[in-house]
Structure 1
Amino acid sequence: MRAFFATCLSLLLAAVPATAGVTIDAFQTEGGLTVWHVEENSIPFVALEMRFQGGASLDAPEKRGATNLMTALIEEGAGPLDARAFAKARDGLAASFSYRVSDDTLSVSAKFLTENRAEALELLRLSLTEPRFDDDAIERVRAQVVSGIRSDEKDPSAIAGKAFDARIYGSHPYGSDLGGTLDSVAALTREDILAAFSAAVARDRLYISVVGDISREELGPVLDTLLADLPATGAPLPADATPVFDGETVVIDFETPQSVAMFGQPGVPFDHPDYFAAYLLNVVLGGGGFESRLMQEVREKRGLTYGVYSYLVDKNGADVWLGSVQSANNRIAEAMEVIRAEWTRMAEEGVSAEELQNAKTYLTGSYPLRFDGNGPIADILVGMQISDMGLDYIDTRNDRVNAVTLEQINRVARDYLKPDQLSFTVVGQPEGL
C-alpha cells in the first residue's frame, strides 16, 4: 500500500500540467463552510488544505509556546487511538497528515487515496475533534521542543532572527519566538494545551481548499461531517503590530567566525496598489538570486558573502521588508556598508528598463512552475483565500506584474525605500562596528 501511495505521489506532480489553467469552484456547503475546490480526476488522489487564522499569535504572553506544543501533539493520538495506534492506522491507509503552526496560522494538510477516503477522513476528524494530549506524549514532544530551543541558543542565525523580531515588534506576539522559551515551555500544563487548542481550532477562522478526485456534490457533505464538531468561535485575534525601525545597528556578542546580520525597514501591504511594483523592486534589489543588485555588489564583485537576500514579508498584523547576510567578522562591516549604499542608490536612482524587464521575465516565467501537483495547488488556493486575493488571481497575477511601468517602479523606490530606517541586528564578533 505504501509503495502504491509513493507511486501516486509521483504521478501527482503531473496531475495538473504547469501550463494548464486552474478552474476554481468556490462554494458554500450546507453546513456553512466556504471551500475552494478544483476537481482533478486523472489519478485517484485528493489533497485537502485547511488554515485556522490566529496561529501562535494567540498565545498568552506567559504561555508562549503553547500553540506550537499543542500543534505538534495533535497527531499523537486521538479518540480511542494512542500515538502508536494512530500512526499505524494512518500509515495503513497510505494517508498523510501534517499539522504546522506559524505566527498567523495553524495549518492542517491531508493527502489520501480515493479508495480510502472515508477511513482517512474519519481519522483526520478524530485528530481535530478528539485529540488525546496524553501525558506521556506531552512529555515526549516537550523534550523535542526543548531540544530545539537549546539548539537555537547556539545558532547565530536563530539568535539574530529572534533578537531582530524582539527589537522591531516589542511586546507583540511577533516579538517573541513562537516555540517559547525554556522556562515557558517547561511550565506548560495539559490544561494550557487544551486551552490553546480551543483558542486556535474553530470554524470562525477556517479556510479550506480541496484539489483532486472528488466532485462538488461529494465534497460538501464530506467537509460538513469532518468539521461539524468544531467549536463555532475561537479566541479573539491579536491586534496589529507596529514595527519600529530606528536605522541603528545593534550588535550581540557571540563567539563565531562569521557574523550574521538581519536587517529591515517598513514594508508594503499586499492589498496596496503599489505592491506589485514593490515586489518587482525587491527582485532587482535582493530577491532575484544571483542577478540581484545585492548579490552582485556584495558577493560577486567583493566576495564578502556566499549569499545576501531581501524579501517582503506580509504578516496578518504587519508588513515589513527584511534581509539577511553572513560574512566573516572582519568583513561584515563592509558588507553592511555596501547594503546600505545599494539601498540608498536604488531609492535615489531607481532601476533601469532592462532590470525591470528581467525581473518581470523572472517572476512570470517561474509562476506556472508552482502549480506542479494537487498538493501545491491546494496550498496556493488556501493562501489566496487568507490573503483575500480573489478567484481570478491565478489568471491575472502575471498581467499585474507586467502592468508595472518603469515610472511606477521608480516612484515606488523613492517612496518606499527608507535607507534612514534600515536597521541591522548583528550576531557575532564583528570588527569595525
Structure 2
Amino acid sequence: MTTLTAMRFRISMSALTLMLALVFLVLPAVVAARAEVRIQEVKSDRGITAWLVEDYSVPIFAIKFLFDGGSTQDPVGKEGLANLMTGLFDEGAGDLDSDAFQTRLDEAGAEMGFNESNDAVGGGMRMLADRQDEAFELLKLAVEKPRFDQAPIDRIRSQIVSGIVANARDPEAQAARKWAKAVYGDHPYARPDQGTETSLATITADDLRAFHKANFTRQNIHVAVVGAIDAETLKKRLDQVFGGLPEKADLRVVERVEPKLRQTMHMEYPLPQTSLQLIYPGVPREAPDFLAAALMEHILGGGTFSSRLFDEVREKRGLAYSVSSALINQEHASSLIIGTATRSDRAAETLGVIREVIRKMAEEGPTEAELDAAKKYMLGAYAINNLDSSGAIASTLVDLQTDELGIDYMQRRVELINAVTLEQVKAAARKLLTVEPAVMILGPKFAETSKG
C-alpha cells in the first residue's frame, strides 16, 4: 500500500498515562513472548471474521480493521472524498454531535483513529479492557452511523485545502504529483489522495454518505484484535460494531497497472540538493519469487547500513546521507523504488554510481555470504518491526489477511525464507534490474554521464 494519511487520535490524558505506565512495566517480557504469536480465527454470528491474539500482560487491547477500496474509489471529479471522510468519524455519530462524541471518547479513555490509502480505508481503537462497553459503543457509532454534519465537513475540508495550498509551493510535493502522473498515466494511482481545491469544493454530505454505504460493508472488511479480550467476547463485539453494516460492497473495478518505465523526468529547480528516484519493475506479493526478490532488494538497498548502495554511495564516496530501495506492493501495481538526495554538483556522479551498483547486481547477483546475512536479518528483525506492541501486531495481522498469506504464515515464514536459493535470488535480480527504469530528477539540470 501507499503512505497513509496521518491518523487522527483523541484520548484522555489520564487514560494515556495509565496505559503507557503499564506498557513500560511489562514491555520486555511481552516482546520476548511475542516471538511466537498464537493467532485464533474468530467468526461472529453475522459472519464477520477476525484474527485474535489474546494477551493479558496489560489490561488493554487494540482492534484494527480495513475496508477494501480506498481513494481509488473516489469518483472522477471528487478526488479527496475518502481522505475527507476519514477526518469526520470522530466529528459526530448517531445522536452525538462533534463535541458530545469527543467528550464521550475522552471519558471512555479510548484512542480512535481512521486513515485511508489508495486501496483501503482503515481504522482502529485502543481501549482499557474494563472500559470496553463505552469504547465499543462509540466505535460502533463511528463505523455505522457517522453524521457528516456540515460544520465539521467545512472545517476538515478547510484544513486539507490549507495543506494543498502549502504543497503548491513545495517543489518536492509538486514533483511527486507530476511523477505519479508520468508513471501511472490516467490510473487512479496517479491522482492525489487529498484531492484538489476544485474537487474538494464539490464534495457534499450526500457524497460522503454514498461512499460510506458502498465501501463500509461486511463483505470487504479485515479485522484483527490483540490484547486482553477472549474469543467469545470478541464474537459479540464484532457483531456489535460491524453487524449493522450492509452485507455487500459496491466497489468500482480498478484495473492493474504497470508503471511506465524507460523515461526520465527532470524537474529543474534551483535547489542545493538534487533528489533522485528510480523505478524498476516489482513483484506481486503472491508471486512465487517474491521472497527471492525481497532478499535481493534488501542486499541492494533495503538493508540501509549493510546494503550495497549505502556502501558505494555513502561509505566509499560520501555522496549522500542516505540511499535506499524498497519493494512497493499496492493492490493494483508493484514496483522497486530506489531513492536518494545528493549535492546538486555531484548528482550526475551519484546517479552513475547507483546505475553501476544496479548493473553489477543484475549481472552477477549477490554472494552467498550476502544472502545468508540478509536471511538472518529478515528473520531476526520481523518481531522487532512487526510485533513490538498490540497495535503493531494487529496491523501485521490485517496485512497478512489482505495479502492472503494465511493464518499460519508466521510459522511458515522461517522455512520459506531459508528455502530461497542463491540462484533464485540471482534470477530475481536479472528479472527486475535489467530493464531501463523510470528516473525522476528534481534539481538543477545536468547531463547524465553514464547509464551503467
Superposition TM-score, scaled by structure 2 size:
0.91
**What letter matches 1:26 in structure 2?**
E
Q: 3-state SS of the aligned residue for 1:306?
A: strand
Q: Is the 8 A contact 2:215 2:251 kept in 1?
A: no
Q: Is the 8 A contact 1:15 1:373 kept in 2?
A: no
Superposition TM-score, scaled by structure 1 size:
0.95
Q: Is it true that 1:405 corresponds to 2:427 in the alignment?
A: no
Aligned to 1:135: 150
Aligned to 1:310: 325
CA distance in 2, matches of 1:11, 1:391: 30
Q: Deviations over 1:307-340 (max 9, x none)?
A: 1111101111111111211122222222122222
Q: 1:153 to 1:256 in 2, by over 3 A?
A: farther
Q: Is it true that 1:394 corresponds to 2:415 in the alignment?
A: no
Shift of 1:342: 1.5
Q: Deviations over 1:368-410 (max 9, x none)?
A: 2131122111111111011001111111212222221112211
Shift of 1:9: 4.4
CA distance in 1, matches of 2:224, 2:292: 29
- The 5 A counterparts of 1:247-396 are 247-369=262-384, 370-396=386-412
CA distance in 2, matches of 1:246, 1:33: 41
**What letter matches 2:413 in structure 1?**
R
Q: Is the 8 A contact 1:259 1:430 kept in 2?
A: no
CA distance in 2, matches of 1:90, 1:6: 18
Q: Is it true that 1:185 corresponds to 2:200 in the alignment?
A: yes
Q: 3-state SS of the aligned residue for 1:61?
A: coil
Gaps of 5+ in 1: none
**What letter matches 1:327 in structure 2?**
T
Q: Is the 8 A contact 1:64 1:180 kept in 2?
A: yes
Aligned to 2:7: none
Q: Is the 8 A contact 1:160 1:262 kept in 2?
A: no
From 413, 416, 428, the counterpart of 2:432 = 416
Shift of 1:181: 1.6
- The 5 A counterparts of 1:197-212 are 197-212=212-227
Q: Is it true that 1:229 corresponds to 2:244 in the alignment?
A: yes
Shift of 1:12: 6.8
Q: Is the 8 A contact 1:208 1:382 kept in 2?
A: yes
Shift of 1:295: 1.3
Moved more, 147-156 or 104-113: 147-156
Q: 1:15 to 1:109 in 2, by over 3 A?
A: farther
CA distance in 2, matches of 1:335, 1:199: 48
CA distance in 1, matches of 2:185, 2:32: 42
**What letter matches 1:189 in structure 2?**
T
Q: 3-state SS of the aligned residue for 1:204?
A: coil
Q: Deviations over 1:42-93 (max 9, x none)?
A: 2221111111011111111211101100111111111222222212211111
Q: Is the 8 A contact 2:137 2:241 kept in 1?
A: yes
From 70, 74, 82, the counterpart of 2:89 = 74
Q: 3-state SS of the aligned residue for 1:335?
A: helix
Q: Is the 8 A contact 1:240 1:316 kept in 2?
A: no
Gaps of 5+ in 2: 1-13
Aligned to 2:43: 28
Shift of 1:235: 2.5
Aligned to 1:83: 98
- The 5 A counterparts of 1:158-173 are 158-173=173-188
Identity score, percent: 37
From 110, 115, 118, the counterpart of 1:103 = 118
Aligned to 2:59: 44
**What letter matches 2:259 in structure 1?**
V
Shift of 1:11: 4.9
Q: Deviations over 1:93-144 (max 9, x none)?
A: 1100010101111111111111111110000111111111121111111111
Aligned to 2:190: 175
CA distance in 2, matches of 1:137, 1:9: 34
Shift of 1:237: 4.3
Q: Is the 8 A contact 2:283 2:334 kept in 1?
A: yes
Q: Is the 8 A contact 1:58 1:235 kept in 2?
A: no
CA distance in 2, matches of 1:211, 1:259: 43
Aligned to 2:30: 16
Q: Is the 8 A contact 2:259 2:335 kept in 1?
A: no
Q: 1:138 to 1:22 in 2, by over 3 A?
A: same
Q: 3-state SS of the aligned residue for 2:321?
A: coil
Q: 3-state SS of the aligned residue for 2:124?
A: strand
What is the aligned-residue RMSD (CA, Å)?
1.7
